[in-house]
């Protein structure tokens, strides 16, 4: 049975991971799956491949992301590039506001308990 | 460039489990996973295909994550071949057993038949019959009962012959021989003459079971191969030969007998003969027992 902290971490990570993916894509305008994986890892956020791709797929189906297949050069294999849609940009703004609000509450609580 | 068969298998499994998703989306997912694997191998050729696929996780698990993200029901985990064959074997055995039972039920119907007037229970279409106080017999037995047209005076010879079975010999009230038997085959219509003696010849029947009532005072000759013979309330002379089995002899009250019992291999009671005997009881058994 998973420990309570592991359950909590899995839940909070999912929303947090989505936010990080949106921010990464916005910063680079467009990224393909393997790049996202590498950049998240470089930031210290390790994500399993089997978790990232289904998440990207759902974010595309839901509308915040758009995807396009491209071949970088003639020898390379096709890669699926993700970018933010207008709807995704708006969604990211709302997510940022909500997350900043949450962080403020968290920091306020931390100060009180110290 | 030909694709690695391990990757092909992985993608095929992924595609199979993703069946609830529309085919165009499914192809898109499979292509993206393939692209990921090729990117991983491009970036660092050192890791083997197995390592890259292992990092992705089992194809069924990855496919189920796609389904869950789309709010679809995940596929059931694949059944191991051992479990699958165990289940197939078990169900096959049960099927064969059920078929066997159905064939038996059809062949031996009715399974149970109770005849209250004859105090008889037939099981498996008459294959097993239980009568009276629990006598059990196997097979499709027919009853045959009869009475001799001849009468027998004291001292007249009379024969009873059988192959295998159980004979109960009693003293009749009248002067006629009477029998109540059951066995397989065609019953005798009357007495035969054997060696110049009127005889009830049952040697053509297997597993015959008889109650025979013998007129008082006759000289009874009994011959059998296998089985059991019980002489009850005897008021007649007996000269009996049985190859294998048991013989019991009980004289009627107040009747005097000269006994001559002999068993080649087995055990025999040796009752004392009465003075001035009315009848003789000479019994021979090759293998078995004689009791008095």
Helix runs in A43-85, H state only: 49-62
Contact B38 A77 (CB under 8 A): yes
Band (pLDDT 50/70/90 cuts) for residue A93 is: very high
pLDDT at B83: 84
Model-level pTM?
A: 0.48
CB-nearest to A49 from B34, B55, B66 is B55
Strand partners, B243: none
pLDDT (mean) for A30-51: 90
Nearest CA in chain B to A68: B28
Closest CA to B180 of B195, B194, B168: B168
Q: CA quadruple B14, B15, B18, B23: dihedral positive or negative? A: positive
In this structure, the strands spanning B157-171 and B208-214 are parallel
pLDDT (mean) for A72-100: 87
Q: In B, which residues are within 8 Å of A76 by CB distance?
A: 42
CB-nearest to B65 from A34, A51, A80 is A51
Is B27 an interface residue toward A (CB < 8 Å)? no
Mean pLDDT (chain B, rounded)? 85
Looking at the complex, report in whole angstroms how far the Cα of residue B80 sits from the nearest Cα belonging to chain A. Answer: 23
Residue numbers of chain B with a pLDDT score lower than 50? none
Instruction: State how far the alpha carbon of B20 is from the alpha carbons of A52, A55, B23, B32, B72, in Å.
Output: 20, 17, 9, 18, 8
ipTM: 0.84
């Amino acid at each position: 049975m998973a420990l309570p902290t592991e359950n909590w971490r899995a839940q909070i990570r999912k929303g947090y991971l989505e936010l990080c993916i949106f921010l990464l894509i916005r910063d680079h305008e467009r990224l393909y799956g393997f790049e996202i994986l590498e950049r998240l890892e470089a930031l210290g956020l390790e994500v399993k491949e089997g978790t990232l791709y289904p998440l990207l797929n759902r974010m595309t189906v839901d509308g915040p992301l758009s995807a396009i297949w491209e071949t970088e050069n003639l020898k390379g294999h096709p890669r699926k590039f993700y970018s933010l849609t207008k709807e995704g940009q708006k969604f990211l703004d709302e997510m940022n506001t909500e997350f900043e609000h949450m962080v403020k509450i968290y920091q306020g609580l931390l100060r009180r308990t110290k | 460039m030909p694709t690695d068969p391990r990757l092909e298998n992985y993608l095929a499994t992924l595609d199979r489990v993703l069946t609830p998703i529309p085919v165009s989306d499914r192809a898109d997912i499979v292509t993206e996973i393939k692209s990921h694997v090729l990117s991983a191998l491009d970036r660092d050729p050192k890791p083997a295909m197995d390592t890259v696929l292992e990092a992705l996780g089992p194809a069924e698990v990855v496919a189920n994550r796609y389904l869950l993200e789309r709010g679809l029901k995940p596929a059931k985990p694949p059944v191991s071949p051992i479990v699958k064959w165990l289940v197939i074997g078990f169900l096959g055995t049960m099927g064969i057993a059920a078929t066997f039972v159905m064939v038996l039920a059809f062949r031996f119907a009715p399974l149970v038949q109770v005849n209250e007037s004859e105090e008889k229970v037939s099981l498996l279409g008459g294959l097993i019959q239980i009568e009276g106080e629990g006598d059990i017999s196997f097979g499709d037995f027919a009853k045959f009962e009869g009475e001799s047209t001849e009468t027998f005076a004291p001292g007249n010879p009379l024969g009873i012959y059988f192959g295998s079975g159980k004979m109960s010999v009693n003293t009749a009230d009248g002067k006629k021989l009477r029998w109540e038997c059951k066995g397989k085959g065609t019953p005798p219509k009357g007495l035969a003459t054997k060696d110049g003696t009127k005889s009830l010849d049952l040697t053509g029947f297997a597993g015959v079971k008889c109650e025979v009532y013998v007129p008082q005072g006759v000289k009874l000759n009994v011959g059998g191969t296998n089985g059991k013979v019980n002489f009850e309330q005897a008021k007649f002379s007996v000269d009996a030969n049985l190859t294998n089995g048991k013989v019991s002899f009980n004289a009627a009250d107040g009747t005097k007998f000269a006994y001559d019992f002999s068993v080649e291999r087995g055990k025999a009671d040796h009752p004392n003969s009465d003075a001035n005997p009315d009848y003789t009881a000479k019994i021979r058994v090759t293998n078995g027992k004689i009791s008095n």
